[in-house]
Amino acid sequence: MTLEKPANPRDVTDSPEETAWLERTWHSPGGLLGWFTHVNQRMIGKRFIITAFIFFLLAGILGILIRLQLAGPEQQLLGPELYNQFFTMHGTVMMFFFAIPVMEGFAIYFVPLMIGTRDMAFPRLNAFGYYVYLIGGIVLFGSLLLSMAPNAGWFNYVPLSSKLYSPGYGVDIWTTMITFIEVSALTAAVELIVTTLRMRAPGMSLNRMPLFVWAALVMSFMIVFAMPAVIVSSTLLILDRLVETQFFIVEGGGEPLLWQHLFWYFGHPEVYIILVPALGMISTIIITFTRRPIYGYTALVLSVVAIGFVSFGLWVHHMFTTGLPQLGMSFFTAASATIAIPSGVQIFCWIASLWGAKIRFATPMLWVLGFFAIFVIGGLTGVMVASIPFDTQVHDTFFLVAHFHYVLIGGAVFPLIGATYYWWPKITGRMMSEAAGKWSFWLAFIGFNVTFFPMHQLGLEGMPRRIYTYVEEMGWGDLNLLATIGSLVLATGFGVTLINAIWSVFRGQRAEPNPWGAPTLEWAADSPPASYNFRHIPVVHSRWPLWDWERDRERAVVTGLRNDRREVVLTSILDAKPVGVQVLPAPTIWPFVSAVAASLGFIGIIFHPIFFAIAFFLVAFTLVAWFWPRRPWRND
C-alpha cells in the first residue's frame, strides 16, 4: 500500500506544553523503588545489554583462566574439578546469559525505534523477562562462588549429569536456571514478534522493514520453536534428579540419547538464534557506511528466513558419533551443507553492496569486515565437519573448539561490537573514540586469530577438548602457549572497548541525532531518545525514510494520539495501514514481584518439590494483581 499524501497537507506544530505532557506520561519514576517499576522498552533493553556484557566479562575471565591453565603441560593452576566447573560455566554463561540476552537486548532497544513506535506491545512482560534473566544469572553465577557450580559441560549430557555421576547441587542449579531463563527469552521473543507485526509506523509495509528488524523477527520465531525443546529436556532431567523418574536411566528403560536429541534440537537453532540478529546488524552497518541502498534486499530477507528454517534440520550433526541409521546420517549431512547456501547468498549480497561503493572505514565497519574474514574461515571448517568421516576424526577435539569459536565470536561477537559502536551515540548521546575503537579492533582481530587458529592444528594432532592438562610428550605445549598469549591480546582488545565505552559516557563528544547519516528511523529520535521516543510517530514511504526526508525537506507524521496516557498506533500486518490505537500500561512493581515469586519456585524445587505448588499459586496471585483492572474502567 502506498499512503496517499493528503492534498493540502496541514502543518504540524508542537507546543512545548504538549511535549511536556508527553514527557510526563512516558516518564519512568526515579529512586531505588522506582527502578523496579520501569517498563519502557529502552530502559529494559539497556538493562539487558549491560547485564549481558557483564556476563560476557565474567565468562571471558573464566575463558582466560582456562587458557592460563592450558598454557603449558601439567600445570596445576586450577585442578580438574575447578577446571570442569570453569569450562561448563564459560560455555553456559556465554551461550545462555550473554549471547541470547544481548541480542534480545539490542532488539528490545532498537526494534521499536526502527519501526517508529513508542514502546513494545507488552511493556510489563518485558520487565518481567528482565528480572527473570537477572535473578537466573545471579543464582547461576553465585553457585560458582559457593564452589557448587555445574561441571558437566554446557550441553550437560546424561548419564554424566544424572544423580548417580553428578551428585551435589551443581547440575540441579544448571537445569533449573536454564529452564528459568528460557522463560525470559520466550517472553522477549513473543514481544518482538507482536511489536514488529502490529506496531510499525504507518506505511512501513513488510518489504520496507529495516533488515535488522527482519533479523530480530526471524530470531524471535526461532526462539519460540526451539526453546520449548530445552525446557522439556531440562524438565525431564530435573525430574530424574529430584523425584527419581527414569527418563534417562537405562536400567529403568530410559534413553540417554533422548537428551541429546532434545538438547540439540534446541541447541543447533540456538547457534543461529545468535547469528541471525548479527546478520541484521551487518546489513544495517553496511548500508550506512556505504551510504547507499543495499544490494538484494529481498534475497537477504529470504536467506535469513531460509537460515531460520534450515537450522531446525541440522541438530543430528552434533551426534554423528552416536551410531545413527545410515539414511539419517546422509540426510543431516545434506542439510548441514545446505545451510551454506543462504549464508553464501548473504555474503555475496554484502560483497555486491560494498563493490565500488565509497566505504567509510569507521570503527563499526571495521568490525564488520573482520567478521567477513573470520566467519568465512569458520564456515569452511563447518562444511568440513558436516562430512561424517571428517567429523568422526575430529569429534571432541580442539578442532571443534576452534570451529565454533570462529563462527560464534566471528559470526556474532564481532558484528555485535561493531553494532555497539554504531548505536552507542543513540543509546548514550555520546560518541565513542574512533582511535580507541580501531586499536580495539586490531588487537581483538589479531588476538582472536592467534588464539583460535592454532587450535585447528591441535585438534588434528588429537588434543581432546575438556581435558584440564596434558603431558609434555604429546608435543602440544608450544601451540597452547601461543593460543594463551593470543587470548590475552584478544582480552586486551575487548578491554579497550570497555574502557572506551565508560570513558565516552563522561567525556565523549556529544552526538547529533543522526551522526552517521543513516537511513532508518531510530536516527530520527534524539540522542539519547526522549522518554516517548518520537515526538510524533512518523509516516513512512520507502525503505530509507531519513534519506527521503533529507531529499524532500518534508516529512509526514501521525496526529491525534493523546498525550495524557501511553498511546501508540496499531497497523495491519502486511501493509502497515493504521487500524487503531493501543493504550499501553504504565510503570508498576508487579512484574518484579511475579519474577521473584517464580524464582522462588525454580530455586526451591532443588530442595523440595513442594515449592512448585507454592510458587504456582504465588505467581498466579501476582499475575491477578498485575492484570486486575483499576477503576475508573476505561470507556472510550
Q: How far is the CB of 392 from another protein (least distance, A)?
A: 23
Q: Which is nearer to another protein, 121 or 177 (CB)?
A: 121
Helix H or strand E segment including 505: helix 477-507
What angle (nearest 5°) sits at the alpha carbon of residue 196, between those of residues 195 and 198?
A: 65
Q: Which is nearer to another protein, 93 or 539 (CB)?
A: 539
Tell me the C-alpha distance between 420 and 366, whole Å.
Answer: 12
Cell of 567: 498511546
Sign of CA dihedral 456, 459, 465, 467: negative
AA identity, residue 505: V
Q: Which is nearer to another protein, 135 or 236 (CB)?
A: 236
Tell me the C-alpha distance between 224 and 247, whole Å.
Answer: 25
Tell me the C-alpha distance between 383 and 376, whole Å.
Answer: 11
Tell me the C-alpha distance between 340 and 576, whole Å.
Answer: 33
Q: Which is nearer to another protein, 65 or 232 (CB)?
A: 232
- Sequence-distant (6+) residues with CB within 8 A of 495 are none
Q: How far is the CB of 513 from another protein (least distance, A)?
A: 11
- Sequence-distant (6+) residues with CB within 8 A of 247 are 236, 237, 239, 240, 254, 255, 258
Q: Which is nearer to another protein, 12 or 505 (CB)?
A: 12
What angle (nearest 5°) sits at the alpha carbon of residue 135, between those of residues 157 and 165?
A: 25
Cα dihedral 77→81→87→92 (10° resolution): -140
Q: Are 248 and 255 in contact (CB under 8 A)?
A: yes
Q: How far is the CB of 270 from another protein (least distance, A)?
A: 15
Q: How far is the CB of 401 from another protein (least distance, A)?
A: 29
AA identity, residue 604: G
Q: How far is the CB of 245 from another protein (least distance, A)?
A: 4
Q: Which is nearer to another protein, 15 or 635 (CB)?
A: 635
Residue 570 β-bridge partners: 580
The CA–CA distances, whole Å, from 209 to 266, 302, 543 equal 28, 13, 7
Q: How far is the CB of 32 from another protein (least distance, A)?
A: 30
Q: Are 415 and 278 in contact (CB under 8 A)?
A: yes
Tell me the C-alpha distance between 116 and 568, whole Å.
Answer: 10
Q: How far is the CB of 195 from another protein (least distance, A)?
A: 8
Q: How far is the CB of 125 from another protein (least distance, A)?
A: 8
Q: Which is nearer to another protein, 331 or 348 (CB)?
A: 331
Q: How far is the CB of 567 from another protein (least distance, A)?
A: 8
Q: How far is the CB of 250 from another protein (least distance, A)?
A: 9
Q: Which is nearer to another protein, 77 or 557 (CB)?
A: 557
Q: Are 277 and 212 in contact (CB under 8 A)?
A: yes
Half-sphere CA count of 373, side-chain side, radius 13 A: 12
- Sequence-distant (6+) residues with CB within 8 A of 480 are 70, 71, 72, 454, 458, 470
Q: Which is nearer to another protein, 454 or 545 (CB)?
A: 545
Q: Which is nearer to another protein, 380 or 573 (CB)?
A: 573
Q: How far is the CB of 576 from another protein (least distance, A)?
A: 11
Q: Which is nearer to another protein, 220 or 284 (CB)?
A: 220
- 5 phi/psi in degrees, rounded to 5: -75, 135
Q: Which is nearer to another protein, 172 or 240 (CB)?
A: 240
Tell me the C-alpha distance between 87 and 97, whole Å.
Answer: 14
Q: How far is the CB of 10 from another protein (least distance, A)?
A: 4
